[in-house]
Chains A and B, each alone.
Chain A
Amino acid sequence: GAGVSQSPSNKVTEKGKDVELRCDPISGHTALYWYRQRLGQGLEFLIYFQGNSAPDKSGLPSDRFSAERTGESVSTLTIQRTQQEDSAVYLCASSLSITTDTQYFGPGTRLTVL
């Protein structure tokens, strides 16, 4: 596609439920990144993929968060047993490679945990 796409655009869930967020990177981009943006704050790095591998998981806030990537394409971010503090916009970005630094962002998924 022309740009990074994410789905759903909005997700409202109840505390304790699991959610899955999807990211489709720009075709041919080998690097993929997940960030979280809390209301009124900057972006917080969560995880990145080089191909299907995630060398750096240090940004994941807790073991309730996990991510995977398949086929060097689509990635899913899963949050188990959601908490109210998980409410945020989750942004995905991709870049041609790790060494090519320009990251292109998707529109984000707004997650609201009631």
Chain B
Amino acid sequence: GEDVEQSLFLSVREGDSSVINCTYTDSSSTYLYWYKQEPGAGLQLLTYIFSNMDMKQDQRLTVLLNKKDKHLSLRIADTQTGDSAIYFCAERAGGYNKLIFGAGTRLAVHP
């Protein structure tokens, strides 16, 4: 079956790097996504990676994909207080037109 798991909470100091991890079970996943949810707001697409890639960088964001271990990570460099939010990992499994989401990781950034 399809399952996506994330740790629930991460606390970092402002200016440090944050690494949010995610594991998934469906080896046929074609795309993997990171969404950000701020309080009272909808989900904002941060970045995504296609399954034939192992890394993608976009400004302060770096996504690493280990297909063998079915492990996805999101690294945020120079974390700022504005990065405080819940981050959701999601997979689009092959042949499905729906996203399977993890429970979300709450990132808290402190001075």
What is A's interface to B at a CB cutoff of 8 Å? 4, 31, 33, 35, 40-45, 48, 50, 55-56, 59, 91, 93, 98, 101-108
CB within 8 Å for A91 and B42 given contacts A40-B103, A42-B88, A101-B31: yes
Residue B98, interface by CB 8 Å: yes
A56 to B93, CA, bound (A): 15
Contact with A along B14-53 (1 / 0, CB 8 A): 0000000000000000110001000011111100100000
Interface range on chain B (Cβ under 8 Å from partner) = 20 to 34
CB within 8 Å for A103 and B45 given contacts A42-B4, A42-B88, A43-B88: yes
Partner of B103, one of A42, A45, A105: A42
For residue A98, which residue of chain B has the nearest CB? B97
Contact with A along B76-111 (1 / 0, CB 8 A): 000000000000101010000111111110000000
Residues of A within 8 A of B4 (CB): 42
* B48 and A102 within 8 A (CB): yes
For residue B40, which residue of chain A has the nearest CB? A107
Partner of A104, one of B40, B45, B48, B101: B45
For residue A47, which residue of chain B has the nearest CB? B98
For residue A6, which residue of chain B has the nearest CB? B42
A/B interface sample: 25 pairs, CB < 8 A: A4-B42, A31-B97, A33-B98, A41-B103, A42-B4, A42-B101, A42-B102, A42-B103, A42-B104, A43-B88, A44-B101, A45-B100, A50-B97, A56-B97, A56-B98, A91-B42, A98-B97, A101-B30, A101-B31, A103-B99, A105-B42, A106-B42, A107-B40, A107-B41, A108-B42
CB within 8 Å for A107 and B88 given contacts A42-B102, A43-B101, A98-B97: no
What 8 additional pairs, Cβ within 8 angstroms, besides A40-B103, A45-B98?
A4-B42, A31-B97, A41-B103, A42-B101, A43-B99, A56-B98, A104-B45, A105-B45
* B42 and A45 within 8 A (CB): no
CB B101 to nearest CB in A, in angstroms, measures 4
